[in-house]
Amino acid sequence: MSSSAPTRPLCLIPGPVEMSSTVLQAHSTPATAHTDPKFVEAFGQVIEKLRTVVGTESAQPFVIAGSGTLGWDQTAANLIEAGENVLVLSNGYFGEGLADCMETYGAQVTRLRAEIGNRQPLAEIAQALRAKKYKAVTVSQVDTSTGVLGDVKGVCELVQEHSPDTLVVVDGVCATAAERLYFDAWGVDVVITASQKALGCPPGISVVVVSQKALGVLSERKTPVPAYYVNWNRWLPIMRSYEDRAVKYFATPCVQTIFALNTSLNELLADGGMESVFAAHERTSARVKAAVASWGLKTVAVSPEVSATAMTAVWLPESITPADLLPRLKARGVVAAGGILAGNAHRYFRLGHMGITATQDNGYVDIMLKAAGEALEESGLAIGSSGRCATPPRL
Ligand SMILES: Cc1ncc(COP(=O)(O)O)c(C=O)c1O
């Protein structure tokens, strides 16, 4: 562990995440015109590096001021026309939100829901893809409400086999730059993400990476894009221009956040690139999952195969609620999150361990696990010398 343990509570929720001091410095630069050559260079680099993060040569990143939700709107407004079918693989709160967003733009949505803590069996997805022609299928790579990992590769393979025209849309808001994703190799069409999670930056940037196939779908629309700000036809010349290191204006970019993202991407890609970033998240996640087992508790995700590496959601025993636990964690220097799954929010808590918490040797995971173990014990969980809990968890 590094000797400089922070003197403030660590933000170890599943986003926003802790940021490095260099990212924070980059975020507090003086007022800078969006036409300034330094900014033009930084913006151009951000677009290029985002391709590396998701593993694509040819897809087009859109980097637009907004939060992750704006990526839902961008995707729905640009790629779906009213009345078209969309299959949403929903593993929780965020799958449902994405489905609602699609419906807002007139999509006919089929929600294929999984049991809490699980993901849809591939056979069910294949059946759905055979039953109807879908314009797009959406998969939450990590549903932040449950910590369940979607099978992006499996979904891509099914689409290629059963419905190759269907676009594969990945909600990577709580996954991109933490969970393995190989955009070109797997055949992904859209990745939606945001700056404040594993990209290690303040909130404020909506990132969407779009395949050339999906851009072709946009150009062949029969109806106009029913939105102004998120219309990719307006943003495409801007992205291309900044990548060519030339200024072009449509709407003011979030200059400081883009400086911060460029710094954060530099750090992310510095040593060993994305393979080492993924491996660091996997090691960190294994430590957290082992600690959960040592407390005698269970993760909401029902098996290692369906568990995210970016975060962990943990069922609490009957006698403990997040309202009991979270203040005790905070008193020990760790901000964690309660549940958000409708009807079950009071039954579990969530820890985020993505970004520099996973990739840098800062001791944050030690602090988090020590604080959580102590807070659980103080809340009444009996963690014996065997590390097992006397109160059986609910599942
Ligand atoms: C999986 C997922 N999708 C979408 C969102 C929405 O992102 P934002 O809160 O940045 O709008 C979140 C937020 O946590 C998320 O975790």
144 lines ligand 1 (CB under 6 A): yes
Atom of ligand 1 nearest to the CA of 141: 1
Nearest CA owner, ligand 1 atom 2: 173
Phi, psi of 170 (to 5 degrees): -110, 125
Q: Which tokens go with 216?
A: 């072709």
Q: Which tokens go with 395?
A: 């599942």
147 lines ligand 1 (CB under 6 A): no
Atom of ligand 1 nearest to the CA of 203: 10
Amino acid at 11: C
The answer for residues whose C-beta is within 8 angstroms of residue 207's C-beta and 6 or more apart is 50, 61, 62, 63, 71, 176, 191, 192, 193, 194, 195, 199
Q: Single out the residue of 104, 14, 118 nearest to residue 68, CA to CA.
A: 14
368 lines ligand 1 (CB under 6 A): no
pLDDT at 25: 98
User: Which CATH number does the domain 21-269 belong to among 3.40.640.10, 3.40.50.300, 3.30.70.1710, 1.10.3720.10?
Assistant: 3.40.640.10
Q: Where are the domains of the chain?
A: 10-18+272-378, 21-269
Q: What is the pLDDT of residues 65-80, one digit of tens each?
A: 999 999 999 999 999 9
pLDDT at 271: 85
Rg (CA), the chain: 21
**What does 161-230 look like in DSSP terms, one character per residue?**
HH-TTSEEEEE-TTTTTTS---HHHHT--EEEEETTSTT-S-S-EEEEEE-HHHHHHHHT-SS--S-STT
Nearest CA owner, ligand 1 atom 15: 173
- Residues β-bridged to residue 338: 349
Tell me how far apart the alpha carbons of residues 393 and 395 are, in angstroms, rounded to a whole number: 6
pLDDT at 6: 72
Q: Single out the residue of 124, 123, 135 nearest to residue 163, CA to CA.
A: 135
Q: In angstroms, what is the span from residue 39 Cα to ligand 1's centroid?
A: 27
pLDDT at 7: 83
Domain 10-18+272-378: give its CATH superfamily. Answer: Aspartate Aminotransferase, domain 1 (3.90.1150.10)
The answer for residues whose C-beta is within 8 angstroms of residue 231's C-beta and 6 or more apart is 77, 78, 225
350 labeled part of a ligand binding site? yes
The answer for residues whose C-beta is within 8 angstroms of residue 331's C-beta and 6 or more apart is 375
Q: How many residues does the chain have?
A: 395
H or E element at residue 89? strand 85-90
Token look-up 């990209």 returns 199
pLDDT in tens, the chain (395 residues): 444 567 899 999 999 999 999 999 999 999 999 999 999 999 999 999 999 999 999 999 999 999 999 999 999 999 999 999 999 999 999 999 999 999 999 999 999 999 999 999 999 999 999 999 999 999 999 999 999 999 999 999 999 999 999 999 999 999 999 999 999 999 999 999 999 999 999 999 999 999 999 999 999 999 999 999 999 999 999 999 999 999 999 999 999 999 999 999 999 999 889 999 999 999 999 999 999 999 999 999 999 999 999 999 999 999 999 999 999 999 999 999 999 998 999 999 999 999 999 999 999 999 999 999 999 999 999 876 555 544 444 43
69 lines ligand 1 (CB under 6 A): yes
Residue 341 DSSP class = S
